[in-house]
Homo-oligomer: A and B are copies of this chain.
């Protein structure tokens, strides 16, 4: 069953302290080739009928993202592409 995935990320010009904390922890793990880490949200919306991109965009704009500091994208994916299918 296809579902709609909304990806919400901080705008590039907004500082991401959570991502920076992860980036700063990496050298202690022996990882030195990472330039930056940014952490956002991924929301999976399952519709009862056909996935509705416009509806999902409306939901994202009103409930899921803060348009002042965040950008979001909306797309339809098939279930086998969602997290959990592999690791």
The interface of chain A, by Cβ under 8 A from chain B, is 7-9, 11-12, 19, 22, 25-26, 29, 31, 33-49, 52, 55, 58-59, 62-64, 71-73, 82-87
Top 4 closest pairs, chain A to chain B, by CB: A9-B83, A71-B84, A42-B42, A7-B83
Which of A11, A31, A42 gathers the greatest number of chain B CB atoms within 10 Å? A42
Given the known interface contacts A29-B62, A35-B47, the answer about A42 and B9 at a Cβ–Cβ threshold of 8 Å is yes
Given the known interface contacts A7-B42, A40-B42, A82-B9, the answer about A33 and B59 at a Cβ–Cβ threshold of 8 Å is no
- For the complex with contacts A34-B59, A38-B46, A73-B83, 17 further pairs of A-B residues with Cβ separation under 8 Å are A7-B82, A8-B42, A9-B42, A9-B83, A22-B63, A25-B63, A29-B59, A29-B63, A31-B59, A37-B45, A37-B46, A38-B43, A40-B41, A41-B41, A71-B87, A73-B84, A73-B85
